[in-house]
Amino acid sequence: MQRTIAIGEYYHIYNRGNDKKLIFLDERDRARFLFLVLHFQSNLKFTNIGRQVSYFVKRRRFNISGEIEEIVKKRTVELVSFTFMPNHFHFIVHQLKDNGIADYLSRIQNAQTKYFNTKYRRTGHLFQGPYKSVHIKSNNQLLHLSAYIHKNQRELTGWKNKEHFYPWSSYQDYLQNRWGKLLKPDIVLKQFNIPEDYKNFIKNSSAKEYLPDGLLIDC
């Protein structure tokens, strides 16, 4: 569901592949999407993203330094959490400026679609429509949504009880942040004394039971 998105509010943003098809076919597809999600929080333009992807595949990080402060200074949204699944994704995003989330998702999805279609010699939509957004109205909702997002990958073969090692999720960043200022988990983590307490919360949370209808996506 999609309604008016307000400055200063937090939203669950999600989407899936067109006709529930896969949106990632290999590691480079995921790495490129990760670059976009982290670095498109402002309107700063990037060239040679492919080079950044190659760097990540070898070293598990991006070779970006000077641009980070510029992104933070001019960001229109703040990324709070994320996970990428084979055919869908989930974010928690804080809108800072008018149309921030709409512009952010448009840039990400358009760039990924163009890349994907070129790489795999296909045409048409990669994602099922623009995106879906649900306003997060309470702290309880926020906490259990973060748990739901960070437990998503347990549905994948080999990742049950290893969710915090999954590289395409911010779960491991809540324990030790890989992305510094590009990820803003503070609104969640400040409610726990140490990261290990958050890990225990994730383990024990029955997230789906606490979230209202419309806040979950089954892909």
CATH number of the domain bearing residue 66: 3.30.70.1290
Q: Does 70 score more than 90 pLDDT?
A: yes
Greater pLDDT, 130 or 124: 124
Please state the three-class secondary structure of 67-135 as a single string.
Answer: HHHHHHHHCCEEEEEEEEECCEEEEEEEECCCCHHHHHHHHHHHHHHHHHHHHHCCCCCCECCCCEEEE
Q: Does 213 score more than 60 pLDDT?
A: no
Residue 216 maps to a domain: no
* Mean pLDDT calculated for residue range 42-47: 93
The angle at the Cα of 116, spanning 113 to 122, to the nearest 5 degrees, equals 95
Q: In what order do the strands lie in the sheet with 132-135?
A: 77-85, 88-95, 10-16, 132-135
Residue 81 maps to a domain: yes
The set of residues, in sequence order, having a beta carbon less than 8 Å from that of 136 and lying 6+ positions away, is: 9, 10, 11, 12, 92, 142, 145
Residue 117 maps to a domain: yes
Residue 217 maps to a domain: no
Residue 5 maps to a domain: no
pLDDT tens digits along 132-153: 999 999 999 999 999 999 999 9
Q: What percent of the chain has pLDDT over 90?
A: 84
Residue 2 maps to a domain: no
Q: What average pLDDT is seen over the chain?
A: 92
Residue 4 maps to a domain: no
pTM for the predicted model, two decimal places: 0.93
Tally of domains in the chain: 1
Residue 194 maps to a domain: yes
Instruction: Give the domain range for residue 191.
Output: 10-210
pLDDT of amino acid 206: 81
How far is 56 from 22, CA to CA, in rounded Å?
22
